[in-house]
Amino acid sequence: MDFDRGLQDCLPRLRRFAHGLSRNAADADDLTQMTAERALLARDQWVTGTRLDSWLFRIMRNLWIDTARSRARKAAFEAPPEAGESIGWDPRPGVEAAIDLRIAMAAMARLPDDQREVVALILVEGFGYRETAELLDLPIGTVSSRLVRGRTALLAMLGE
């Protein structure tokens, strides 16, 4: 498969994953930009015939981990995301009101990092448990128990 084409095709999904991981849209787009740059630099390391999307998601996830320390420092100076307080949607029956991206990101941001990445990959991106375990270098049991905790916390935040 052509690398440039594959990267370009994957960018929307990468950007969505970045939004699942990041506290705000600006950070998410920085992360997407960094991932695209890193991927182009490292393109020789991608093995033709293997899944390019998993390779790209892994680069993004590792960049995100690398910036965790500065992120935590920054977060200490910022107000905590107000997620739970303002969350809600149209309660009228039959109205499946979409939740706002900002609210979804705020709820995700309240999950611990290890749960957030699993939730983003499986519930939002649609990766399987096995793919996610390989992408994160984790045992599949760890993935599934983090997913249980993450989605349970999300349900409490995003309500019913």
CB of 113 to other proteins, least distance (A): 17
Inter-residue contact 122 to 129 (CB < 8 Å): yes
Inter-residue contact 150 to 47 (CB < 8 Å): no
Output the six-digit token pair for 131. 């793919």
Single residue of 44, 85, 137, 160 touching other proteins by CB under 8 A: 160
DSSP H helices, the chain, are: 3-21, 25-41, 52-66, 68-76, 101-109, 113-119, 129-136, 140-158
The reply on whether position 112 binds other proteins by CB under 8 A is no
Give the max Cα distance, the chain.
53
The reply on whether position 1 binds other proteins by CB under 8 A is no
CB of 47 to other proteins, least distance (A): 19
The reply on whether position 90 binds other proteins by CB under 8 A is no
Using the rule CB under 8 A, give the single segment among 46-54, 77-85, 109-117, 143-151 that binds other proteins.
143-151
Inter-residue contact 138 to 128 (CB < 8 Å): no
Q: How far is CA 105 from the centre of its chain?
A: 9
Single residue of 74, 90, 112, 145 touching other proteins by CB under 8 A: 145
Return the number of the residue (12 or 112) whose C-beta is nearest other proteins.
12
CB of 65 to other proteins, least distance (A): 17
Label residue 18 exposed, middle or buried (CB < 10 Å: 0-12, 13-18, 19+): buried
Contacts to other proteins by CB under 8 A: 4, 7-8, 11-13, 15-16, 19-20, 25, 28-30, 32-34, 36-37, 40-41, 89, 96, 98-101, 103-104, 122-124, 128-129, 141, 144-145, 147-148, 151-152, 154-155, 158, 160
